[in-house]
A and B are shown apart, each in its own frame.
Chain A
Amino acid sequence: MKYVPEKGPKRGVSIYSYSDLFSLGLTLEDCFKEMQDMGAHGVEILANSHIDGYPELTDEFLEKWWSLCEKYEIIPAEYGHWIDGRMWADRMLTVDEAVEYLERDFEYAHKLGFHCLRTKQTVINGVLDPVENWRDIITAATPAAEKYDVVMLPEIHGPTILEQQMVQDFCEYVDKTGTKSFGLNIDFSVFSVQPNRRTGEVRNSKPEALKDYLPYVKCCHAKFTSMVPDDTYMFREEWIPYPEILKVLQDNNWDGWMVAEYEGKNRGDENYLSEMLHQHQILMKNCLGY
């Protein structure tokens, strides 16, 4: 029976979780197979890492991609790419140059079946505020985004929090322009209660705060770093309150993919990594009920 995604928050995996093994020879097929085992049907790939022969997109890769998606019931959930503003050592990337890179990725994402793009912007400081001309870049790239039916989603990632000015600015941009080509990717690290290693400070947003942002959120990064046993859900994330976050998503009828991003220890140990991925998917499944 062919897999048809239902409305609501859905479980997936970012191939980023497999990074340490991928560069040593683990294949997309290996990853897809495990995703099917876990019933995690949505995939995020990183263009610069997981497309054979990037910056080319070959017919051979396209063919492999679609046959693997079909064989393992995988749905393209999010395409990760970058605006590498510090591409050059001596000057910043211009708007025109940035748009050139973006357009190539829009086309590739479209051909690979992605609608959501995790578009990493260039940042200027330690709380990850974007370059001042980010609006110019996004506006200039919008016609191409419309042409290829993709939506650019900056990733809101700790130590950034939802209440930070840049998130307000992103939402305001969407409101003012009415654009369908820009939105938010929320990385669950923004809800982490783990104290900063150097300062001991806990800087986070509360899960309930997510509600107001949901109209802008098109995809989530289900970040996890450490899994521990739990009486109710079998496992929980040591620092990130998954039950509360997923409840906000479900109660508010949010529809989209949550792609798992493992950033804990032993990412290069294939058995340990699989164990972590399974525990995390079990947690999400037990929270959602599916």
Chain B
Amino acid sequence: MLEKEEIQYRGFRNLYDENGEACGFEFCLRSTYYRGVWLSQLRVGRVIVDGEEFLADSGNVTWIIRGQEYTPAEMAKDNIHFWAMTEVATIRVKKPGGLAQGYHDVAVRWGWSSSYISPAREVFDDTQESPTMMRDNNTSKRRMLMV
């Protein structure tokens, strides 16, 4: 089952390259929106961990949905694949050395288009703490990482 909060505890871990060196980290996100969305409907913004920002278009951030890994640019062009509300997206971030063991404040700024509400309410700007007027999809969560 999924955890209630958007940023999941389960799945927060470092990633390792073929030499066993930590090369990044990943964590899982669920959507609290009441319906699944097409990938092109997602508005993908920056990941922020302990104040360090990983921009969506930096080449260092990918999202894994239903086992398929996408860059934010690929998602923006994909109206075939779908993210269900009952599944997590795994957000993968490249960072040489990974994260140290201990607590980390993890946030991702994101949103989605909902064509049935006023367009004025869904302007997406990931430089803002609340990237959309619709909802606060940025909530930073403290999560323990074990290495």
Which A residues are closer than 8 A to B by beta carbons?
16, 19-20, 22-25, 46, 48-49, 54-55, 82-89, 97, 120-126, 128, 268
Contacts and interface: CB of A to CB of B under 8 A. Distances in A.
B132 to A, nearest CB: 12
A169 B2 CA distance: 44
Interface stretch (B50-58, B92-100, B112-120): B112-120
A24 B118 contact: no
Nearest to B42: A89
B79 A88 contact: yes
B117 A123 contact: yes
Most buried by B among A46, A89, A126: A89
A98 to B, nearest CB: 10
Given A24-B1, A54-B84, A87-B41, A120 B116 contact: yes
B36 A82 contact: no
Contact of B116 (A87, A97, A123): A123
Nearest to B81: A55
A185 to B, nearest CB: 12
Interface string B117-128: 111101000000
B70 interface: no
Nearest to A80: B35
Given A23-B85, A54-B82, A124-B119, A48 B36 contact: yes
B4 A24 contact: yes
The 9 closest A-B pairs by CB, nearest first: A19-B34, A122-B115, A86-B113, A48-B35, A49-B35, A85-B115, A23-B85, A126-B118, A120-B116
A87 B80 CA distance: 11
A84 B43 contact: no
B82 to A, nearest CB: 5
19 contacts: A19-B85, A48-B36, A48-B37, A49-B35, A54-B36, A54-B82, A83-B115, A84-B38, A87-B79, A88-B40, A88-B76, A89-B40, A89-B113, A123-B116, A123-B117, A123-B119, A124-B118, A124-B119, A128-B116
B7 to A, nearest CB: 15
Contact of B32 (A23, A55, A122): A23
Given A49-B36, A88-B79, A122 B116 contact: yes
Contact of B2 (A24, A97, A122, A123): A24
B13 interface: no
A23 B37 CA distance: 13
A87 B112 CA distance: 9
Given A89-B40, A89-B113, A25 B1 contact: yes
Given A25-B86, A89-B76, 8 more contacts: A22-B85, A23-B30, A23-B34, A54-B36, A55-B82, A83-B115, A87-B79, A120-B116
